[in-house]
Chain A
Amino acid sequence: MTATAPRGVVGRPWRKVDALGSATGRAVYADDMYLPGMLIGKQLHSIHAHALIRGIDTSQAEALDGVHAVLTGADLPVAYGIFPVSQDEHALAVERVRYVGEPVVAVAAVDEETAERALALVEVVYEPLPEVTTYEAALAEDGPRIHGEGTGANIHRSNAFEFGDVAEGFSVADHVREDVLFYSGNNHAAMEQHAAVAEMGSDGRLTLWTSTQVPHYVHRTLEKVLEMPAGHIRVIAPAVGGGFGGKTDPFSHEITASKLAMVTGRPVKITLTREEVFYAHRGRHPVLMWVRTGFTADGRITAMHFRSLLDGGAYGSYGAATTLYTGALQTTTYRIPAYRFEGVRVFTNKPPCGPKRGHGTPQPRFALEVHLDKAADDLGIDPVELRLRNAVEPFSETVNHLRITSSGLRECIEEVTRASGFAEQRGKLPRGRGLGFAIGAYMSGAGLPIYWNDMPQSEVQLKVDRGGGVTVYSMAADVGQGSTSVLAAIVAEVLGLEAADLSLVTADTDLTPIDLGSYSSRVTFMAGNAALEAATKLRAMVFDAVAAHLEVPADSLVAAERRVGVDGDPERSVPWSEAVRLAAAAFGPLTASGAYTPPDLAGPYKGSGVGPSPAYSYSACVAAVACDPETGVVAVEKVWMAHDVGRSINPLLVEGQIEGSVHMALGEVFSEEQAFRGGMHIGPSLLDYKIPSILEMPPVESILIETVDPEGPFGAKEAGQGPLLPVLPAIANAIHDALGIRVDELPITPWKVLQAVRDLERGGDGRVGPAGLPDVPFREPLRVELPQQWQEVAAP
């Protein structure tokens, strides 16, 4: 794709197209919708972590005045799941419940009070089963199986690969280090709870407005579960108040609202309560990790062996990918000549885990960056220098077959350490204050779609009216990250317009061409490239018509400042509105479309579909902390983040993503935890679930590095997820610099800090964290042939 230097709106900071609507309350979220005759839907949830459903009596609820319909699992018998390999969910539990909070019954009534009263009248008879809530219980061969009958280990996924000769790599190492770390689970806690409104039209077509990141996947699921042709179903994402991966699955309430609308003939709205959001979950997997790395005396990595044990909760969700992601991207930052990964995801009787910002990579990144910080200490090498010595080079290939294109990793490291004064201050601050460093990388979109197909992942259509107005059609769902504004910027840039000149129609399966959704940081890169192609085609038509009119060659023309004319010659130009009239006269309908299909990047092995991306963003982070050794309280004083975004389509949005990432990371490192006593969530509310407030939020210095990726639109790469990754280990490493302790287990609570401080004072190693992995039956690794360039390296 083109990487022409932008001249107009691309690269300029400007307010998102929907910013005023969001800020002034005019944006319409699903829960804001009131349709004539609309009913309110509510769900009854399991009160058992694991039980058989022996009977459901809904007769009293159905008899209640104001109740229009009651559904149970028998009404929606088709199983579904976001991944083709994990079709293990039902909209309402069938025969068995697997976690507290699982939807069992749904009602539609005239109002919420009546719906609640109806649910209180439903009798569900359960036969409780032993609950499985820990890794050990999940792995026990003699324990109950959560899916399937009888006893056996509850292993959902198990993957193992070896790239290169790891034993050989360790044997030539001068130093080998092992660490065990735990990353706790947490929820996305998007400000807007999930909500959906369904309406069955008199034409027999169903429309669902839903707060989702993935209208297309919801569409596919409705087609399957409701057993209706996709062409009879329309899914629309209205304004969405945050997703972070929490709205990338098809959800029970979307299906039950649709079914209730079909049954009652009236519109039905279901808005989840905050408690229900914690039960719907799909948040960060808790992962227990073990990592072993070999180094030469001068700090070069000779081999790495990484093991992950994921607690997946009750259902598959994205877990098949998450498991692989905990092993896939370690090699995108470090040159690792021999790499072995083993990962196992277990089922437990807890709400299902799924993808959250960084999807399966923040956990290993935390482990890896803390591990390397410790290794740098062992080796007596500066932690920044250790990273630089192993940094992946641009335009290279990793040992696990990931193609690396542009990389600003070195620039990020240099800029962030310079801005923070890292070298001058680390290790030299008074006790309690410290600096920590870490890096990360993330995908600009998953190279492969969730279900196998060879169609484009993104398409964009443009239509021009006779006054010059341009309408942009894209299914990409703006969930607050600004994807619509990014598409607007790209189209406006190419056509020489301002974003305000565009009409933007998005996230509607009837009106807009495919976009797989706002996940895996794919929209800027993929929908952006589709928009770029569409706009470039449209501009070519306009240039041809204007060239004929002005009697100049088309390649002498530029589109800028709402005019089309000869570059540098304002006398020979026409206004955009005139230009499109000329083009319409010459070509008829002024429409154009563009599409993006990623290159085939999968490696030559099963499981290689997770990890490849057309481009990777790079980040480097320094955090400054002030720790109180008497209270264990850690305050983050400042965060510096250098992020290689390829090119900032809109630097304001990139900085917003960095600041938001820092805030989210702050919660994950210190206080946000999806925690359970047995199968009970300890506090599914925003009072108990501690999201940092603005008072905890440090100043963030964002440094944008532009490497202009050859395949990104205008060179752009992702910014929405990558900047979260290095924040957690940078903070953990800073706490070590401040107090000499290691808390290798998230969240880093004041109590854990005090325990580590006390341990250090008593002559211990000052570490709090897990001792090891339980006995996990990792499978024998698949030995994968090395990429060409590594075969040459490996050859004697």
Chain B
Amino acid sequence: MRLPPFTFLEPATLAEATKMLADQGPAATTVAGGTDLYPNLKRRQSSPKTLVSLRRVDGLRGIRANGSGTTIGATTTLGEVAAAEVLPGAIRDAAGFVSSPQIRNVGTIGGNLCVDTRCDYINQNEEWRRAVDFCLKDRGEICWVAPRSSHCWAVSSTDIAPVAIALEAEIRLASVGGERVIPAEALYRDDGIEWLTRAPDEILTEIVVPGGNGMRATYRKVRRRGTIDFPILGVAVAVDVDGGGECTSARIVLGAIASAPVRASEAEEFLAGKRLSDEVIEETARLAGKAARPQDNTDLNSRYRKRMVPVEVGRALRSLA
């Protein structure tokens, strides 16, 4: 399979990059490592006319600790994130769970935060999709996962996002109009086609991870193999524990189960103000399971993935107890 033709732009500065993006309009898209975009282009899932590469943009790569937390540049590779001792273990683990060592040497954290939603029906080559008939996400008029649905159920497949949300990280976006900083959670939309709230002319420049005294966090990933595979369920849990061992607050975020990361709010509320006893963990895990309504559009089946939510949330909480 070959890439479709496109114009490739390589800005050297952020100002140049945002200007290029604004000038090109919605037919342009950004690319960093390309480990997600290029295979998708080979399968003709989309056909951007212009790619604006962020690889050579000055200042976008690197990890900087400051007083209140750590800033990770968008083009920092996943391998670098996984190896950065200054970062919380949960985000390092999540980065280290993405695909394979080779992909992590090229793929970036910004790319993983923005990674395209995935589905058994879209991530196939063009001939396959023509044989089945195209779907809502590209050229078609039907969702093959839920044929009566009017919206696309492609799955949020980022490992970083659930952790970023659980850690209450912030995302910085830049455009010719200026910059804005939003909570990580606000970057996502539960829509397989328009899964990001980022405007087409905005570039994700960095992620800011707060320091979090007393916070404990973990990330667990379900997939068939110990490497390569995208998540078919991701569980990020962060709890703030006070001196007495009580959870003052908790964030439980489920990845790869909908078109956006899902907060298990009922479980979070139940857990707040309680100690992580066996009974509390079991009930929290059960409640988290209620938040998951996966479709049959990834590896293994939806019933399995739903059944794994309380198991994995329970294990996550036990590891933090």
Contact = CB atoms under 8 A, between A and B. Distances in A.
Interface of A: 45, 47-48, 100, 112-113, 116, 273, 275, 630-632, 671, 680-685, 687-688, 690, 692-693, 695-696, 749-751, 754
A273 B300 CA distance: 25
Interface stretch (B57-65, B87-95, B196-204, B223-231): B223-231
Given A47-B131, A683-B120, A683-B124, 11 more contacts: A116-B2, A273-B125, A630-B311, A632-B304, A681-B128, A687-B123, A690-B225, A690-B299, A693-B227, A695-B227, A754-B307
Nearest to A681: B128
Contacts of B124: 683-685
Contacts of A113: 2
A355 to B, nearest CB: 26
A693 B120 contact: no
A692 B227 CA distance: 9
A630 B2 CA distance: 43
A682 B120 CA distance: 8
Interface of B: 1-2, 120, 123-125, 127-128, 130-132, 222, 224-229, 299-301, 303-304, 307-308, 311
Nearest to A116: B2
A749 B222 CA distance: 14
30 contacts: A47-B127, A47-B130, A47-B131, A100-B131, A112-B2, A113-B2, A273-B1, A275-B128, A671-B224, A671-B225, A680-B128, A681-B128, A683-B120, A683-B124, A684-B128, A685-B123, A685-B124, A685-B125, A687-B123, A687-B229, A688-B123, A688-B299, A690-B225, A693-B227, A749-B300, A750-B300, A751-B300, A751-B301, A751-B303, A751-B304
Nearest to A694: B227
B4 to A, nearest CB: 9
Given A100-B131, A113-B2, A683-B120, A695 B304 contact: no
A681 B132 CA distance: 10
A273 B128 CA distance: 13
Nearest to B303: A751
Contact of A693 (B228, B300, B301): B228
A681 B121 CA distance: 11
A696 B226 contact: yes
Interface of B is mostly: loop
Contacts of B123: 685, 687-688
A750 B233 CA distance: 14
Contacts of B125: 273, 275, 685
A422 B311 CA distance: 32
A112 B1 CA distance: 8
B131 A687 contact: no
Contacts of A47: 127, 130-131
Q: Point out which of B125, B127, B299 has the most chain A C-beta atoms below 10 A from its C-beta.
A: B127
A693 B127 contact: no
A45 B303 CA distance: 34
B122 to A, nearest CB: 12
Given A693-B228, A695-B226, A751-B304, A631 B311 contact: yes
Given A631-B311, A683-B124, A690 B2 contact: no
Sorted from nearest, which 9 A-B pairs have the closest CB atoms? A695-B226, A47-B131, A751-B304, A693-B227, A690-B224, A693-B225, A630-B311, A100-B131, A112-B2
Contacts of B301: 751
A138 B229 CA distance: 35
A687 B304 CA distance: 20
Given A47-B131, A754-B304, A687 B2 contact: no
B228 to A, nearest CB: 6
A680 B132 contact: yes
A687 B1 contact: no
Contacts of B127: 45, 47, 275
Contacts of A116: 2
Contacts of A671: 224-225
A683 B130 CA distance: 14
Nearest to A274: B1
A100 B300 CA distance: 23
Nearest to A671: B224
Contacts of B226: 693, 695-696
A619 B88 CA distance: 49
Nearest to B131: A47
B296 to A, nearest CB: 10
B121 to A, nearest CB: 10
Nearest to B144: A677
Contacts of A749: 300, 304
Contacts of A754: 304, 307
B225 A695 contact: yes
Contacts of B225: 671, 690, 692-693, 695-696
Contacts of A275: 125, 127-128
Contacts of B307: 754
Q: Point out which of B123, B128, B132 has the most chain A C-beta atoms below 10 A from its C-beta.
A: B128
Contacts of B308: 631
Nearest to B118: A687
Nearest to B228: A693
B147 to A, nearest CB: 13
Contacts of B132: 680
A681 B226 CA distance: 24
Nearest to B315: A630
Nearest to B4: A113
A116 B301 CA distance: 35
A442 to B, nearest CB: 28
Contacts of B229: 687, 690
A693 to B, nearest CB: 5
A652 B302 CA distance: 44
Contacts of A692: 225
Contacts of A685: 123-125
Nearest to A275: B125
A336 to B, nearest CB: 38
A751 B226 CA distance: 17
A689 to B, nearest CB: 10
A680 B2 contact: no
B228 A48 contact: no
Contacts of A683: 120, 124
A48 B131 contact: yes
A750 B128 contact: no
A682 B229 CA distance: 16
